């Protein structure tokens, strides 16, 4: 039997009540509700902005992987790019297999870029030696939470007894509901920071390498 999918609320920032629950919406509670709505729309925006920064950094790394030396800020226009025949053939075959034969413009998404990164890193020797362990999996986690915040609403659940109820935020997705508490926010803040640091470090090491064998 297939798992029952969660019914989505009619709009974002909805107050969701379970059977038997009640909420008293007076002027003070409405003020609290509006504040939580503003705060968590900022949270959503921060997640999407953080994901954009990570995707942009991944773009820089992919560009260096496939077209080495062209974006090195320390290079001169007349410098030769650090590319051997052997490594050039590997890159050409990857580009042909994953872009020309395996993709199209409509498929060049964040997920496609992550897949290209993971497959390239398994075939380009220098990447295997400098990549932090598990970076590809961390990128997948970033992509998944980005998609959830981009496509699903946040709801609020009343917590406590009347008349002193507070609101607990949840991201309601078709397959699961995610509680947006401080532990969740801290965990993803740490993940995003680690991914950015690892992407920047990998790009720096790749640019410093001049053999690319």
Q: What does pTM read for this prediction?
A: 0.84
Predicted confidence (pLDDT) per residue in 126-181, tens digit: 788 889 999 999 999 999 999 999 999 999 999 887 777 889 999 999 999 999 99
- Cβ neighbors of 130 (< 8 A, separation 6 or more) are 202, 205, 206, 209
Query: What pLDDT, on the 0 to 100 scale, is given for residue 70?
Result: 78
pLDDT band for position 78 (50/70/90)?
A: confident
Domain segments of the chain: what residues?
A: 24-72+80-208
Q: CB pairs under 8 A, 24+ apart, for 86-95?
A: 86/213, 87/124, 87/125, 87/126, 87/212, 87/213, 90/123, 90/124, 91/65, 91/66, 91/124, 94/66, 94/119, 94/120, 94/123, 94/124, 95/66
| Cα 172 from chain centroid (whole Å) | 18
Question: Which tens digit of pLDDT belongs to each residue from 38-77?
Answer: 999 999 999 999 999 999 999 999 888 888 877 777 777 7
Whether the pLDDT of residue 104 is over 70: the answer is no
């Amino acid at each position: 039997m297939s798992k029952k999918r969660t019914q989505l609320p009619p709009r974002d920032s909805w107050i969701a009540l379970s059977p038997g629950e009640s909420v008293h919406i007076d002027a003070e509670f409405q003020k609290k509700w509006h504040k939580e709505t503003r705060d968590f729309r900022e949270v959503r925006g921060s997640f999407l902005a953080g994901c954009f920064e990570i995707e942009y950094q991944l773009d820089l790394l992919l560009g260096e992987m496939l077209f080495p030396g062209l974006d090195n800020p320390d290079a001169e226009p007349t410098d030769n790019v650090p590319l051997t025949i052997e490594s050039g053939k590997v890159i050409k075959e990857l580009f042909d297999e994953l872009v020309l034969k395996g993709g199209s413009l409509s498929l060049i998404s964040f997920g496609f870029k992550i897949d290209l990164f993971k497959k390239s890193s398994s075939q380009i020797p220098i990447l295997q030696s400098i990549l932090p362990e598990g970076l590809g999996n961390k990128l997948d986690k970033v992509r998944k939470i980005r998609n959830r915040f981009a496509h699903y609403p946040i709801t609020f659940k009343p917590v406590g007894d009347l008349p002193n109820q507070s609101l607990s935020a949840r991201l309601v997705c078709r397959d699961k509901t995610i509680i947006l508490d401080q532990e969740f926010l801290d965990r993803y803040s740490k993940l995003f920071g680690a991914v950015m640091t690892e992407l920047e470090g990998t790009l720096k090491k790749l640019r410093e390498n001049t053999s690319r064998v």
